[in-house]
Structures are given as C-alpha cells and as structure tokens.
Structure 1
Amino acid sequence: MQITDVILAPGQGAFFYDDQDAIRAGALQEGFVYVGQSKTPGFRSIRVPASSLSLGLVLHDGVVVWGDAMGVQYSGAGGRDPLFDPNTISDLMRRVIAPRLLGVDASRFLAACAEVLQPWEGSRLPLSLEYGVSQALLRAAAHIHRKTMAAIVCSEFDLMLPTRKVPIYCQSGDAREMNVDKMILKGVDVLPHGLINSRQKFGIGGQTFMDFVKWVAKRIRELGTPNYHPVLHFDVYGWIGQEIGLEPQRIADFICRVSETVPEFTVNIESPADFGSTEAQIDEYAKIVSILDGRNSRARVVVDERCNTLEDIRLFAAAKATHLVQIKTPDVGSIADTARAVLICKANKVGAYVGGSCTETDLSARASVHVSVATRADMMLAKPGMGVDEALSIVGNEQNRLFATLNRGVSDPEKS
C-alpha cells in the first residue's frame, strides 16, 4: 500500500524546553520560570514552551496515520541537536521527505525507514524529524498488516511476541514530595527521578540530595504496601561531578554512600558527571562502573548525556561504560534505531531503558511503548509531561491494552 499525501499539523509538547547551560550556571527559579540570560544557542529565554509537529501520512485507503516530531527538554546540551524549530522541520518535510514518502512501500517498516530517512545534502536529517516520520511509518505498517505496532517490530526484527510487561519509571519534576506520594500510592515500578538539576537541589557536598534519597525510602515504608519494593532512580544531571570533582574514585565513593543509606533498595544514579565528550564519558564511566562492580554495590550508573545516537549507545555498551543506557528516543532519531539500541544493549549485557523526554506527546509515548515491549526493554519512561498521573495513564494503559490484544491472540487495527 502506498502513501498518497502528507499533511502537517502544528502541536505542543507536554512540557518546556530548558537551557541546561544557564541552569547549571546558577539561573534562579522564580515560580515556574528561570530568571536570567539564556546561554544555549536558539533559546530566547531559559525556559521555552515545547513545540511539536504532527506528521500525517494519507494511505491509499484514505486512513491517516500520524507521528510527532519534537526535541528533548535539554536541547542543544550534551552533544544533542539544537532547539526544535517547527518551521525548519516543516520545510524539510515538505521539500525533502514528502516526495520520498509518496514513492515508498509503506507495508515494509524497516525498508521504508531506510529509504525515506536517507541523509540530505551530505548530512543526517534532524533526529526529531527521523523520530516523527518513523512513528508514522510504524503506524502505517501496523494498519496495513492489521497488527499491533509491537507485532510489526517483532516481525521486522525476527523476535518472538512478548509475554512480559516492561517496568514503568515515573519522573517527579519539581513537585517532588507530592509526586513521590502519588507514585507510591500507584505502585510505580521505578521512581522518582527527582530532577536534581541545580546546586540548590543537590546541596553542598550532595547533602540535600542525600536527604531526599533517605526521605523517599522513608516515604515508601510509610505509604507503600508490605510487598512494594520499587527501584529508586535519581537523575542528578552531572551534579556529583560538578560538586565533588571529576575523579572517578570520588564519584564512585559518593554513589556507594548514597546506596548505603537505603540498603534495602536498588539505586540507579543517572548522569553522575559530564566529562565533556563522548570519548571521555566512556572512559571515565567505565572506571566508575568497574569500581562499583568491584564492591558488589547495589548502585547502578545510568548514562544519558553524551550517549545520544545509536552509535554512541553501541560504544557505551561495548565498553561496559554503564549499567543502563537511557535510550532517549528523540535523540536516537528513527524509532527503528530505538529498537536496535535495546537489542545492542541486550547483546552486551547492559540494561536498556527506553526513555525520552517530558516534552514528547501522547502519540510518541504510545509508539515507544510498543517498541519497548517488543524488544523487552528493562524499563520505560512514563511520558510525556512532568505530572505522574497523565504520563502513567498514557504509557501504562497503552501497555495494558497491548497485552490484552496479544493475549486474545488477535491483532488490532491501529488506533488513531
């Protein structure tokens, strides 16, 4: 079945794009906004409402399938693509991608992605555009074959249909205490993220962060059911290295101290430090991982910054430079590469966490669920947005619907 037309619709991401350099430099937060001058190119202010662009493919039978393009919250930082510009993406879509789409066989997902997402003028397409187009192509293949998106991924990558649910990880945003309570009451598998993205939140010597970790564990004991035992996952945005220095031994020592304060829990520490380049990040993270493993620590390092594309993920996984990789879906590009990234992690015995960003949309989140489940990721992010309820509903319900369909033994047409 062929694509007969391409239509575009402006959209909103579920949160905001933030200038990470300005925040790290000490920009103060007043209410919801940050005060001060932006530092990262493209940002007119430190916090910018997230935009998206919906890409619609009109199929031969008149059905329209959609994918959403957007950037991540901290665009332009850590080696990522610059701030998302819907006008640029729309122009590229009309001039370059639409003619390719009109000639492609939409029933063959991987082949269609390879054909449509070829480089343009000697450079790779913007990763946000790859992400949106590939979602639409996955939905197109699912519609044509009357299968779930997960079943299409399994078929294309020669995988067995999944039988196990993927643990869901929620993020708190700045409303930490209230959202932690919500997560505990709803029995979230992995929590709470914490958004430890400034010196104020990390504290002198990390004490404020350490107190928060202990408080989360205490709250779980107070509010959780007797058998509730989530993984604790904290994103510190490089602040361990920022505050105590970039020496791997000292960073590992700090991570061990964090873990030892809550010995009954497995603790994930995401982005403990930013060493300035992908090569340096691999070298230094490998040392931190080796030290933690040598101590049989229950703490695990999660890489995010400097590990963006499929090739970056391949390098980190092969070097055992992390315990888990956050596969940040809009930064990876094509959602087919998200599937490949999970399989690379598994081949190297490294954890695969299909993440993404609070700036995404309901459509991109639901597509991510199917890829996560099909490839048997170790965990996936509840997204979009920074609220617990909406993201958990979108991702959790999509996973439940998927398994209800798979368990019935029939495929379902794509739900638009």
Structure 2
Amino acid sequence: MANLVTIHRVLASPGFGSFFFDDQAAIKAGAQREGAAYAGRAQTPGFKAVREPSASVSVMLVLSDGYIAKGDCASVQYTGVGGREPRFHADQLAAQIEQQLAPHLSGLDVRSFRETAIFTETLIGECFQSKRAAAYGVSQALLDAAAHVAGHHLMAQVIKDEWRIKRPLEIVPIYGQCGDERYTNVDKMILKKVPVLPHGLINTPDLVGANGDTLEEYVKWVRARVAQLRTSVDYDPVIHIDVYGLIGASTGGSIEATADIIERLERAADPHRLRIEHPLDAGSRDAQIEALGTLRRTLKGRGSKVAIIADEWANTADDVHLFAEAKAVDMVQIKTPDLGSLHNTIDAILDCHRHGIGPVLGGTCAETDLSARTTANIGTATGVTQMLAKPGMGFDEGFSIVFNEMNRVVHLAKALR
C-alpha cells in the first residue's frame, strides 16, 4: 500500500493561456480583424473587447512529503457561448482557490485520483462561478499527486489502474490545428507527417463562400499539397475541417443543402478521408443532437463516408453521453476545459468507446503546456481516436508538447514493467 500523503498547502498563481479569448458572437456578427486584434464591440457577457488575452491559473498542491503537484486552470478560446460558462479572470480565480477551496483540501489523502477529483469538484460546484475552469486545473494537480504517491509518476498509469483499462499505453493519432496560417502551417504538418490535419479555423462566412465554393477550393489545395510535399506514399492523412456551424448557416439550416456541400467537400478531399466538425449549429443541445443525427443519416443514405463530429453543445459528460447514445455523430470532440474535472473527460471517452463513437480528445489553443501534457496522458491511457496538438495556434509548439509527452509516457511505461 502506498504511504499516506496528504495536501499540506494549496497555492494558485495567475497566468496567461497560449492564445486569446475571442467573442464568437461578435465575430460572427461581423467584427473585423485589424492585425492581431478585432475592431468592434463585444457582445458576449464577460468580454470588454472582442479579443482578450486568454487566462490561466497554476494550481500547486504542496504535499506532506514535500512534493509539489501542479495543474493549470484554463478555458476555451470561444468561451461563454454554446452552453459554456463565461470567461474567467485569473486574479479572481486564483484568489478564490486559495481563500475558499484551500481550507477544505488541507489534509486530504491524495492516493485515489478519482475519489479526490469527485470530492473536489463537488466543493467547487458549491461556491465557484468558473466551476469548470477551476475543477480542470485542480484535477490536473490531483492526478499529478496520485502519480507521485504511486511511485511511478505516470499519470496515464494511474488512469489505467483506477478505471481498470486493459489496453496498453500507446501513441494515438495527433490532430494538427493551423490557426489563421491556413497554408504555411499545413506545409509544416505535412513535413512532420501529422496524421490528422489541418482544422482550418473556418470561423467566418467568407471562408466557406457561396455554396461552399471557397472551402471546397481550400480542401482541394490541402489534397494537392499533401501529394506535392509528402516524402512517402504511405503518408495518407485524414483531412479534418472545423467549420464552426457555418456550412449550415450558409444554407439557412437546410439539412439537404448542407449535405450537398459536404458531399462536394468529400469529393474534393478524395482519396483522403474527410471529417467535418460542427457543420451546423441548431441553437441548443437537444436540437443539435436531432439536427446532426438527421444530417448524418442523410449523408449515409447517399453513400457518403464523411465523419461528422460534434463540438458545441457537447460540454459535459452527460452531453457527450446523449450525443453518443443517439448515434447522432461519428465522433465527439471532448473539449477538456469544458468538462471541468478530468474524471469527467475520462468517463466521456470511455462512454464513447462503449457506444462505438470515436472520441476526439480536444481542448483549446487557449490553454497551457502543463494542461496539454496532462491531456496527452489521458489520450495514451484511453486510446482516443485522435488528440489535438495544443496549446497555441502556431502548430509546432503544441505538436511537440503532445507528441513528446506521449512518447515519454509510453517509453517509461515499457521500461518500468
């Protein structure tokens, strides 16, 4: 039995995320880019400007044996929309963790991650406004603490043990995110043989174009660029495009017309497999499940093999369960900060597996290197379909953080057997 190790002190340090918090409502309403900023007025509660620096809070658990376990609170780039909680402010959240949460965690036995995560999430839910952001960071530190007490320091192994996962720790496919550099960063992804690319950040109507024409040309360019730059014929990446609901918006919500555009995109991507994330936004969780289910059935009835991915409105483990149970989509993006405490992310991934739905272990460009490394441990333990390279929008940094952490975990696990 592991030695009893408890929490001696809880510290919280305000910091930055790796990108920005963006007011999606204002951007969709026409806010114009001016360099790295946006002109116009904010529309989403909690925002003072359309674009604001993303925030983080480093949670540090000083344990009774002197070890300091760490985790980072974070929220997504487009916070405050699609059923998500409002953006948080680092100074306020850090103070709340030290003043309101810390006294309840003093003396807590950290051997069982799952038990401490559930207990802490309940405490946070009773008094925090930024419940998910806070629970996200604190649970990372609790997972770090449990791995330390276990003696092997492998967070992935803690997950395997506590959830009784039989599969071995293995590398999973990484999903690259290009940000606004939709061409240069694609080149980088191809040169590094990224398995799933490029995300695309198709977040304004002009990037879709009339009847999807502009997006179709971009997909054709990606396909051609892969053929031009790849150094071996066996490199066959999946093309994954996140369209932020804008295909559906361009068709006035018509399922048939949305399916028409997606079929054209599928032909443009051939011979590569195509995945479309958040093709439409129906305005609520239940409506989204119904609409995406209808779209998926329509496409499959036409013989399409495009994978449809849920994003917005799948913000909790319960939400993910309902999307998976209804077979409304082929895959669900499990956006880690939205689910709060990491035990919810693990439960959601395993729930997707049980229902035959592909879990996309995502997150956001707006989080940190620490949260990304923790997420990589979850991916290797649970065998997700693909995992986002994060944080940031520069691609290289996030890819190296996630890829290297996965390799460290797998190599250490083999060496320690």
TM over 0.5: yes
Structure 2's unaligned 5+ residue stretches are none
What CA distance in whole angstroms lies between the structure 1 residues aligned with 2:68 and 2:170?
A: 31
The one-letter amino acid of 1:348's match is H
Partner of 2:358: 351
CA contact (8 A) 2:120 2:135 kept: no
Deviation at 1:93, TM superposition (A): 1.0
CA RMSD of aligned residues (A): 1.4
Partner of 1:414: none
Pairwise mapping of residues 108-127 of structure 1 onto structure 2 (< 5 A)?
108-119=112-123, 120-121=125-126, 126-127=131-132
CA contact (8 A) 1:153 1:371 kept: yes
What CA distance in whole angstroms lies between the structure 2 residues aligned with 1:72 and 1:125?
A: 12
The one-letter amino acid of 1:22's match is A
Question: Aligned pair 1:209/2:215, yes or no?
Answer: yes
Alignment counterpart, residue 135 of structure 1, candidates 101, 125, 140:
140
**Alignment size in residue pairs:** 410
Partner of 1:96: 100
What CA distance in whole angstroms lies between the structure 2 residues aligned with 1:333 and 1:179?
A: 30
Deviation at 1:123, TM superposition (A): 7.8
Further displaced range: 1-10 or 351-360: 1-10
Partner of 2:227: 221
Alignment counterpart, residue 55 of structure 1, candidates 47, 56, 59:
59
Question: Aligned pair 1:339/2:363, yes or no?
Answer: no
Partner of 1:406: 413
The one-letter amino acid of 2:121's match is L
Alignment counterpart, residue 263 of structure 1, candidates 265, 270, 293:
270
What CA distance in whole angstroms lies between the structure 1 residues aligned with 2:63 and 2:170?
A: 33
Partner SS, residue 176 of structure 1:
coil
What CA distance in whole angstroms lies between the structure 2 residues aligned with 1:293 and 1:164?
A: 31
Deviation at 1:116, TM superposition (A): 1.6
Tell me the TM-score normalised to structure 1 length: 0.96
Question: Aligned pair 1:192/2:198, yes or no?
Answer: yes
Deviation at 1:353, TM superposition (A): 0.4
Partner SS, residue 367 of structure 2:
coil
Further displaced range: 96-105 or 55-64: 96-105
Partner of 2:311: 304
Render the CA deviation track for 1:323-370: whole Å, top value 9, x for unaligned. 110000000111111111110000010000000000010100000001
Deviation at 1:88, TM superposition (A): 3.2
Deviation at 1:89, TM superposition (A): 1.7
What CA distance in whole angstroms lies between the structure 2 residues aligned with 1:80 and 1:162?
A: 34
The one-letter amino acid of 2:114's match is L
CA contact (8 A) 2:175 2:198 kept: yes
What CA distance in whole angstroms lies between the structure 2 residues aligned with 1:216 and 1:381?
A: 19
Q: Which runs of 4+ in 1 moved over 3 A?
A: 119-125
Structure 1's unaligned 5+ residue stretches are 411-416
Partner of 2:24: 20
What CA distance in whole angstroms lies between the structure 2 residues aligned with 1:151 and 1:39?
A: 44
Deviation at 1:55, TM superposition (A): 0.4
What CA distance in whole angstroms lies between the structure 2 residues aligned with 1:49 and 1:122?
A: 25
Pairwise mapping of residues 226-375 of structure 1 onto structure 2 (< 5 A)?
226-375=233-382
The one-letter amino acid of 2:235's match is Y
Percent identity reads 45
Render the CA deviation track for 1:355-386: whole Å, top value 9, x for unaligned. 00000101000000011110111110000000
What CA distance in whole angstroms lies between the structure 1 residues aligned with 2:409 and 2:263?
A: 38
